[in-house]
Structure 1
Amino acid sequence: MPALTATNKYLLRYKWHFLGGVLFVGLSTLLAIFPAQIVRYAFDLVGEGIDLYHLYGGTRAQTQVYELFGRNVLLYGVLILLMALLRGVFLFFMRQTLIVMSRLVENDQKNEIYQHYQSLPLSFYRRHSTGDLMSRISEDVGRVRMYIGPAIMYFLQLVLLFVLIVPLMLMVNVKLTLYTLLPLPVLSISIFYVNNIIQRKSDEIQRSLSGMTTFVQEAFSGIRVIKSFVREQDSHRQFTAASNEYKEKSLSLNFVNSLFFPLILFLVGLSTIITVWVGGQEVIRGTITTGSIAEFLIYVNLLTWPVTALGWTSSLVQRAEASQARINEFMDQKTDIVSRQNIELDIKGDISFEHVSFTYPDTGIQALRDVSFRIRPGQTLAVIGNTGSGKSTVAALLSRLYDVTEGSISVDGVDVRDLALTSLRSQIGYVPQDVFLFSDSIRNNINFGLDQPDEERMLQAARDANVYNNIIDFPQGFDTKLGERGITLSGGQKQRVSIARALVKEPKILILDDALSAVDTDTENAILGALQRIMHNRTSLIISHRVSSVKLADEILVLDDGQIVQHGTHEALMRDEQGLYRALYERQLQSEEA
């Protein structure tokens, strides 16, 4: 199957595990076959020993026959026991090589997928849901592991057993061999179809469980909304419906599982009956001995599980192929956000947008149209406009989360597409509009962008973001653990922690994307007062829809529908009575007064 060829590199990487596994499969298989022949000799010995014992009845030779018979039976028993012990040892090493190999491959594949995910651009994440990404790195990788480990292991066992056992059986009696093996293909095909039904129902259960888990997660995350709208009963009814669906699917799977083992036992029993019946007739004819029947019964039992596993492993391989195809679909996607020259630059902060236009690749929406401006080192530029005017797109393009559709953006005279991505982004402090805090301590959230955390820098950043006093009021201070997405904090506190996270980096370029929207006017003024000191001699970009947040900037850009409609200082823009900036200012002033 072509998709699974992508896993060949892992087999080469762990070739010694694989080759060791093949060796141990072969040794354990041989030690499973040899006892069957010893049992045949033992059975025949018992028959011959009884005949001789009666033949020499009443003579001294009878005692010698008895002693010889006892020694031989004991020898055969000891040999069978030793082979069983050795086989157990080799089976242990077989799993320690092949199954361990599959776990190592699983770990490598998950790491590679995660690393590849991080290299993909934001447009990729806008096209794919988080659930889909999680499914491919967990469920799909797990299915591929089942192919690399159990499927290969049991297939090797089956091949070796058939190659070694069937010729031995044919050498004893062709007719008995054909009748004995007759039910086994039926068993394998039956298991294949039953297992596919089980896997399909398991997938349905997994999807049902995933939907129920998502519902519960959203319900608990949005518990404030549910309570405020008094929708607890409605939420409980929806959960009950989802839970009942999961129960029905689980019971349906349980019914199919109940048929699984009876089917195996029936077909195995059928092979045993055929062996005894046909073998008995052959013994009567004198073509084989009773020991041969015992040998055949052991062979049938040895072949039963691998043949059963053939149907199961065939299903595993099919599912692994589908999962690897899904993984390959993502792994084959390459990021277009790559550096052309990989220039490492100590940024001074001279930023220039020249005739920049940008259209989002996934939606086709044009966010910017022929935008040109310049921010000189140490200056503060504010960008203001109505919702959807393209303000946040300016920040995304400067951080090179996207590449421009037309025009160019340069930093210190170098096109950002020529700069090394890590060099550019490590010197930018970015506070996004949608604040995201990790489920970790406040300390670790603020120090997130630092390789070597600095206590003094962290404390100063918290003071500059006007969140220090709030944090030390918590019982555990900076070691306070935040809930999911920072739910422990208020909206304004989350924004200020996010600002502190950007400030602690001491960036060359500071970008605040509507970072003060959730704080009150007094807190906003306090933060802006602290930021004035921080932004001194540091290139800064303030994006906001509130005039109060941008009036301290050296220059202000006013965007409307992706175009610059005004450009100047606060005082100059206020003198234009017909301008959009004046209209925004008066509207917000009236809102605050109201």
Structure 2
Amino acid sequence: MKHLKAVNKYFWKYRWRFLLGLVFIILSNYFRILTPQVTGYVVNSVESQLRDSLNHRDSAAAARQPATSSGRAAMPPAKAKAPSAASTNAKDTANYDILVRKFISSMDVHNAAFSTKIVICGITLLVLALISGGFLFLMRQTIIVMSRHIEYDQKNEIYAHYQQLDANFYKTHSTGDLMSRMAEDVSRVRMFTGPAVMYLANLLVTIGFSLFFMLRKDALLSFYVLTPLPILAITIYYVNTIIHKRSEHIQALLSNLTTNAQESYSGIRVIKSFVQEKAMLRFFSRNSEEYRKNAVNLAKVEAIYFPAMGLMIGLSTLLTIMIGGLYVIYGRHNTDIGTITEFVIYITMLTFPVSAIGWVASMVQRASASQKRLNEFLETVPAIRNAPDARKMPLEGNISFQGVDFTYPNTGIHALADFNLEIRKGEKVVIIGRTGSGKTTIAQLLLRMYDPDKGRVLIDGTDLRELNLQDLRRQISYVPQDVFLFSDTVSGNIQFGLDHTDEDKVRVAARYASVDKEIDGFAERYETMIGERGVTLSGGQKQRISIARGLIKDPEIIVFDDCLSAVDAKTEKEILGNLYQYLQHKTAIIITHRIFSLFDFDRIVVLEEGRIVETGTHQELIALNGYYTYLYEQQQAENSPA
């Protein structure tokens, strides 16, 4: 239960709706609890009427008997005088609710006929049922609707927190697990904030009202008929302990299953190309079978609840009729048939609330297990976040890496070692090197996806850790090597980074990225829907749309991370020509493993194992006849015809 304290803030937020729901629960049960009392009065009235009828019939029969030998009529045996209806009602109704007492008094004052009295009581029971049902409807409209509001708020909170978490978090947690926590776990918590709370409050109020009037009516009989309930409580406690442990394990299995399915859907093309459908199905079936077995075992444990409830409630009803009947037969404790009727109705009213104890306890235990999983992420503090005094400032484009040393925390790969680089405003710098030499890490540090272990990264003389994180990234365009397109239109993907829609800018950016002609050839042009992750486009088209998305922001700093690997030589030359024009007064970093000899870069930086091994212009590096010359000659050999 301690984990569910995290949702108390939502109860406070919707406290008036919650309190109003509790009022409706009390009113609904209050009018329901009047029904047994009115019914008991009706049964006693019927019994009294029958007794009077029998006495009248016996008297009439005795009067019709022939005279005895002495000439006088035979006298019936002496009988105890039956109590009057008024005295009986006064005795029976003394412990009733004040409204029921006033109702009965009004009936007696008007001295209504027996048939009229029965009709009025029947109508009264119907009215009580309608009033109780009306408040029951309002109860659900307040508490269940409140739980939906809480679910909405909680999902928004989780989604917002997910977006604040750093890049390393997403490298160490699967997407399927994140989705499972937001969907399944939040849904289970909603069952606590709505149905569980509602049924628990209803349970307490129903039991409270029932026990109050049962004890006022006959404390000893109440004790006998309620004896099975402590046994029920012990059973619930024992079963709930088992349910709690198994619920946590099942949620973890469900998360694994969701992750397995998500990865299969995302990688379906790889699965099909390697003909691994059966292997993936076996893997999924194995995980699904483990989840099924655990879920079935949990269902078997939960199945103990309802038979146990039925048994205990049945015993209570049986004890009510048996002990109450004995009291009536032997005339003890002033018990009458109306009292037995009332107690049977009380026990019947307690059937659902008491049987719901197990259901409510199960929902609470599952919600606690789910909230624990949610708290694990909600309590995770992002490693990359704004400093308390983080400031915003317009970036001009002067970049400085000073003694930067960085190791990836999740893999231990030492990406950069004592890295120093100065880039002045408006310079075009290409960073070249083999795969794994640390090129992409430079872009990640510049965007502050990570902070360096040692050293500093500065823009315009200010450490990135002193700048507002969102403002920093808003002023830098980044075109990653692993292109990601959303399931949206072409236009929507290109203007993803804009605050406002601007179709003219979309077309200009597409032209600079040399993808405008192909977009015009699509069926719906810029309104053509792109499949998930851009599956409907070729690799080159995806890269160029990604480039257009970076260019449309028109920033002072732009970083291209190996973003031309999927385009042909002709298109590459065209894009570079457009970029040369576009980047005239901007600071640009082009990260690549290929050499663009046609682009007049201000400087070329050659990386090897996280260190700068050479730097200079193309001509200067060729003249050095070093590592850059080796890479250039190797690339020329690969491009030359056989």
TM-score (norm 2): 0.85
Q: Take 1:253 and 1:324, find their aligned partners in 2: how far apart are those partners?
A: 19
Q: Take 1:174 and 1:549, find their aligned partners in 2: how far apart are those partners?
A: 99
Equivalent position of 1:353 in the other structure: 401
Letter in 2 for 1:531: L
Report the alpha carbon displacement of residue 482 of structure 1 after superposing the two structures with TM.
1.4
Aligned length: 589
2:540, 2:567 within 8 Å by CA — same for their partners in 1? yes
Q: Give the alignment partner of residue 228 of structure 2, picking from 179, 183, 188.
A: 183
2:176, 2:262 within 8 Å by CA — same for their partners in 1? no
Equivalent position of 1:97 in the other structure: 142
Equivalent position of 1:16 in the other structure: 16
Q: Give the alignment partner of residue 301 of structure 1, picking from 336, 342, 348.
A: 348
Equivalent position of 1:171 in the other structure: 216
Q: Take 1:230 and 1:285, find their aligned partners in 2: how far apart are those partners?
A: 84
Equivalent position of 2:68 in the other structure: none
Alignment map for 1:44-123 (pairs within 5 Å)? 44-57=44-57, 68-123=113-168
Report the alpha carbon displacement of residue 533 of structure 1 after superposing the two structures with TM.
0.6
Q: What fraction of aligned residue pairs are identical, expressed as a percent?
A: 48
Moved more, 271-280 or 491-500: 271-280
Equivalent position of 2:75 in the other structure: none
Equivalent position of 2:67 in the other structure: none
Deviations 1:56-114 (A, max 9, x none): 4599xxxx999721122112111111111010111111111111111111111111111
- Cα 1:580–1:542 shift into 2, 3 Å: same
1:524, 1:549 within 8 Å by CA — same for their partners in 2? no
Q: Take 2:259 and 2:597, find their aligned partners in 1: how far apart are those partners?
A: 38
Equivalent position of 2:173 in the other structure: 128
Report the alpha carbon displacement of residue 200 of structure 1 after superposing the two structures with TM.
7.5
Deviations 1:31-62 (A, max 9, x none): 11111111111111110011123334599xxx
Report the alpha carbon displacement of residue 329 of structure 1 after superposing the two structures with TM.
2.4
Letter in 1 for 2:380: Q
- Cα 1:318–1:200 shift into 2, 3 Å: closer
Equivalent position of 1:316 in the other structure: 363
Equivalent position of 1:398 in the other structure: 446
Equivalent position of 1:580 in the other structure: 627
Q: Take 2:527 and 2:380, find their aligned partners in 1: how far apart are those partners?
A: 40
Equivalent position of 2:437 in the other structure: 389
Matched residue SS, 1:448: coil
Letter in 2 for 1:332: E
Letter in 2 for 1:436: F
Deviations 1:244-263 (A, max 9, x none): 66776777677677766444
Moved more, 319-328 or 14-23: 319-328
Deviations 1:379-419 (A, max 9, x none): 11111111111111111111111222222222222222222
1:225 and 2:270 matched: yes
Q: Take 1:223 and 1:6, find their aligned partners in 2: how far apart are those partners?
A: 39
Letter in 2 for 1:36: P
1:160 and 2:160 matched: no
Q: Take 1:454 and 1:327, find their aligned partners in 2: how far apart are those partners?
A: 39
1:327 and 2:371 matched: no
Equivalent position of 1:269 in the other structure: 314
Equivalent position of 1:409 in the other structure: 457
Moved more, 515-524 or 584-593: 584-593
Deviations 1:457-482 (A, max 9, x none): 10111111111122222212111111
Report the alpha carbon displacement of residue 208 of structure 1 after superposing the two structures with TM.
6.5
Q: Take 2:285 and 2:209, find their aligned partners in 1: how far apart are those partners?
A: 56
Moved more, 402-411 or 248-257: 248-257
1:179, 1:274 within 8 Å by CA — same for their partners in 2? yes
Letter in 2 for 1:272: T
TM-score (norm 1): 0.91
Larger Rg: 2
- Cα 1:169–1:193 shift into 2, 3 Å: same
1:192, 1:311 within 8 Å by CA — same for their partners in 2? no
Equivalent position of 2:2 in the other structure: 2
Q: Take 1:479 and 1:228, find their aligned partners in 2: how far apart are those partners?
A: 30
Report the alpha carbon displacement of residue 227 of structure 1 after superposing the two structures with TM.
3.9
- Cα 1:407–1:258 shift into 2, 3 Å: closer
2:405, 2:455 within 8 Å by CA — same for their partners in 1? yes
1:491 and 2:536 matched: no
Q: Take 2:440 and 2:504, find their aligned partners in 1: how far apart are those partners?
A: 31
- Cα 1:217–1:134 shift into 2, 3 Å: closer
- Cα 1:505–1:156 shift into 2, 3 Å: same
Q: Take 1:224 and 1:418, find their aligned partners in 2: how far apart are those partners?
A: 44
Deviations 1:419-440 (A, max 9, x none): 2222211111110121111111
Gap runs ≥5 in structure 1: none
Report the alpha carbon displacement of residue 447 of structure 1 after superposing the two structures with TM.
0.8
Letter in 1 for 2:615: H
Report the alpha carbon displacement of residue 238 of structure 1 after superposing the two structures with TM.
5.3
Deviations 1:472-506 (A, max 9, x none): 22212111111111111111111111001011111
Alignment map for 1:520-559 (pairs within 5 Å)? 520-548=568-596, 552-559=600-607
Alignment map for 1:226-305 (pairs within 5 Å)? 226-235=271-280, 261-286=306-331, 287=333, 288-305=335-352
Deviations 1:497-546 (A, max 9, x none): 10010111111111101111111222211111111011111110100111
1:464, 1:500 within 8 Å by CA — same for their partners in 2? yes
Q: Take 1:296 and 1:56, find their aligned partners in 2: how far apart are those partners?
A: 31
Q: Take 1:120 and 1:202, find their aligned partners in 2: how far apart are those partners?
A: 27
1:446, 1:498 within 8 Å by CA — same for their partners in 2? yes
Letter in 1 for 2:585: N
Equivalent position of 1:473 in the other structure: 521
1:439 and 2:484 matched: no
Equivalent position of 2:39 in the other structure: 39
Q: Take 1:135 and 1:220, find their aligned partners in 2: how far apart are those partners?
A: 15
Q: Take 1:270 and 1:94, find their aligned partners in 2: how far apart are those partners?
A: 31
Q: Take 2:388 and 2:248, find their aligned partners in 1: how far apart are those partners?
A: 44
Letter in 2 for 1:228: S
- Cα 1:241–1:140 shift into 2, 3 Å: closer
Equivalent position of 1:510 in the other structure: 558
Moved more, 97-106 or 341-350: 341-350
